[in-house]
Amino acid sequence: QRLDNLYLIDSWYAFHEVIRKVRVLRKKDLKSTESQQRLDKLCTKFEKLWKRETGFKLTSIRPTNSAKITANKLPKNVFVTSNERKEKKKQLKKAKKNFRKKKHAKTKSEELLEAKGKILKDWMKKESVWQLALYQELLHTKAIEQYLSDPKNKMLKHITESMFDEIVRKVRVERFSQLKDTKARLQCDKILLKFEKLWRKQSGIKKTSIKKK
């Protein structure tokens, strides 16, 4: 019989009014933050009981320091049947699935760049000039992006001296910030020197860029 009285609260507006009046009546007695939090927990517990008995959904109660909810923003008589619950779950599941697909989906340009990146990576390993920092710089240099499918015959030829200097500078800055050991730094320079020789052979540029210390 007592639970039947919950059905007298027949809308979110009515429920919100009950909670509002309780807060107003208890405001004078609640001096501390802890007591306000206890009231919030009590109201939340009452809300769960009311929703379970009446079938209402969504959340009406907000913390006391949040913005006030006006009556015109609360839907009235939002009773939910079991079929509607099932349908809502299906829609939510579908929305989550679509979100995951969209999050991990790749554009055509990204797929193309990834394919070209594999060719570049394989070539760098074959020529013993593989270095992740160098690979990333070459992969994301817009001026040579269209030539990545043929690193040896096209990409190297289209790298100008200024482009080469900038790529090497960025690689050295990134790698040297990570490599504190002198031996490791020398190994990094060794790879860059080997890459430089390959580049000069294809581009025809003879001036020395990297100098050993």
Give the tens place of pLDDT for each residue, 163-186: 999 999 999 998 888 888 888 889
Q: Is the pLDDT of residue 83 over 80?
A: no
Q: Is the pLDDT of residue 134 over 70?
A: yes
Q: Is the pLDDT of residue 95 over 70?
A: no
Mean local confidence (pLDDT), 135-152: 88
Neighbours of 50 (CB within 10 A): 18
Residue among 11, 99, 13 at smallest CA distance from 56: 11
CA atoms of 49 and 59, how far apart (whole Å)? 12
Please tell me the predicted confidence (pLDDT) of residue 205.
86
Q: Residue 153 — pLDDT band, cuts 50, 70, 90?
A: confident
- pLDDT > 70 fraction of the chain, expressed in percent and rounded: 63
Arithmetic mean of pLDDT over the chain: 75
**Which sign, positive or negative, has the C-alpha torsion 103, 105, 106, 108?**
negative
| Contact of 22 with 43, CB cutoff 8 Å | yes
Mean local confidence (pLDDT), 107-133: 82
Mean local confidence (pLDDT), 24-45: 80
pTM reported for the whole predicted model: 0.46
Q: Is the pLDDT of residue 3 over 60?
A: no
